[in-house]
Copies of this chain bind each other. A is one copy, B any other.
Amino acid sequence: MNTSSSEPKVREACGIVGIAHSSDDVALPLYYALYALQHRGQESAGIAVFRGMSTDENPDERDAQAKEIRSEKGMGLVAEVFSPQHLAELQGSMGIGHVRYPTTGAPLLENAEPLVVNYQKGEFALAHNGNLVNTRELRAELEREGRIFHSETDTEVIAQLLARELVEHDPIAALTEVMRRVVGSYSLAILMDSMLLAVRDPFGIKPLCIGALTDERRSMNVGYVIASESPAIDTLGGTLIRDVNPGEMLVIHASHPARARNPADHRDLKLIRHQLHPGVPSAHCVFEYIYFARPDSIIDGQLVYDVRMKIGERLAVEHPVSADIVTPVPDSGITCAIGYAKRSGIEYLEGLIKNRYVGRTFIMPEQRARDMSVHAKFNIVRANVAGKRVVLVDDSIVRGTTMRKLVRYLRAAGAKEVHLRIGSPPIIAPCYLGIDTPTRDELIASTRTIEAIRDYLAADSLGYLSLQGLIMAVGIEANSLCLGCLTEHYPVRIPGERCSALQATLT
């Protein structure tokens, strides 16, 4: 009843951000950075800041009662969770933030992140994007030691492992040790012991990048931003430095000037990198380029908009058709359709209008209501399609149910022909590494031939982009990508699934 009729076709796990500033509070920049990452998770949002870094407090005289880390979390969109008062209370010049879709665990506030816990030496906060594949084993091991869990999340497993290592190791060594144990996709932002730490899994499956904040008047670096996607850095007026490397750990900490009470004074931020797991081939998630990431993101060196334009162009080459207009399924197919139109020379015209306010409606059980809810999401511009041969472009097909309705609506509006062009190869297998795809049963392409899919969708023709075409468009070599959902070969061992030869050597 409370599921959304307009939920995305597949859901991204999460978005993370971490900011360290030499003088200012970071709650407001964290807020806007999360805002820029909202597409990566709409279920909950959270911010945690390290209070001790504030210049007007004396870290040596910490009240035992006072918490080092303050956090605020809530269900819903970033703009709904945080009030100006919250941000004012979250004082501190180092912090992390998180937006979340549940991949494991129910949609509960107790699963919202960052997770803030007490451990032997104080507190730490943890924000995670990804999905581990050995959670069950790790959890069993921890439970055998009599540990308790308050949630079902991977994040709590990581936190417990980390706390265990912290008994004998310093933060960097402890986190290194944790990275040896966990398998799967993970980008982490951690606030601990006056430091901001960021790590990306050895395959670099989920994106993570680092940028610099600059004081323009004084031409000096005043802060660092770690984020799932680069537009979070852009939003703050910062500059993208580079992607965090697969298996890399970045550590940012501040050397306090001696008791400076002048707010103009600021700390020196030191950025230290630790490259772990060198020489492992990458396995960047190809679906970030196809669907998830914002078009204005630069991920592992590639501008997503550019990749999608090339996808559209290649699609026009691979699957040409004689038609009157090219029209996208908004918003996922827009860039792709522009590319197709450009290369094919067929006019780009919007035949479907997406309701900008669609988002969080409920699904009523009756068929009548389900029809209305799809209509409420997409409406046909009848005059643009009537009597025309239409090329309808989308980035991918998951279940096919919405696409089938769109084809029917287009025909009802008078389209003479409907040719589907899809900016990816057929999705034939589930993702185990951070994307909430349906099971094989529900994936339309897992058991059907392309002709059978075309028949089900009632399209005049159906063209999927080839795997080779996709790889060329992305511009990263195949063995540095995770193509599991398209090839059934995954970079890590997953029970019942095949593992890519190259990458499997590591796990």
Contacts and interface: CB of A to CB of B under 8 A. Distances in A.
Instruction: Specify which of A148, A335, A349 lies most central, judged by the most chain B CB atoms within 10 Å of its CB.
Output: A148
A357 B146 contact: no
A102 to B, nearest CB: 13
Interface residues of A, number: 81
B364 A28 contact: yes
Contacts of A237: 371-372, 375
A234 interface: yes
A234 B355 CA distance: 12
Given A79-B359, A350-B338, A376-B235, A383 B117 contact: no
Given A144-B167, A305-B384, A353-B295, A375 B150 contact: no
Interface string A319-353: 00000000000010011001000100001111001
Contacts of A80: 360
A379 interface: yes
Contacts of A144: 120, 167
A335 B28 CA distance: 35
Given A146-B167, A234-B380, 13 more contacts: A1-B84, A28-B364, A38-B356, A118-B148, A118-B152, A143-B163, A143-B167, A146-B163, A294-B379, A296-B353, A296-B382, A335-B350, A338-B348
Interface of A: 1, 28-29, 32, 35-36, 38-39, 42, 77-80, 83-84, 87, 110, 117-120, 140, 143-150, 152, 159-160, 163-167, 231, 234-237, 294-296, 303, 305-306, 331, 334-335, 338, 342, 347-350, 353, 355-362, 364, 368-369, 371-373, 375-376, 379-384
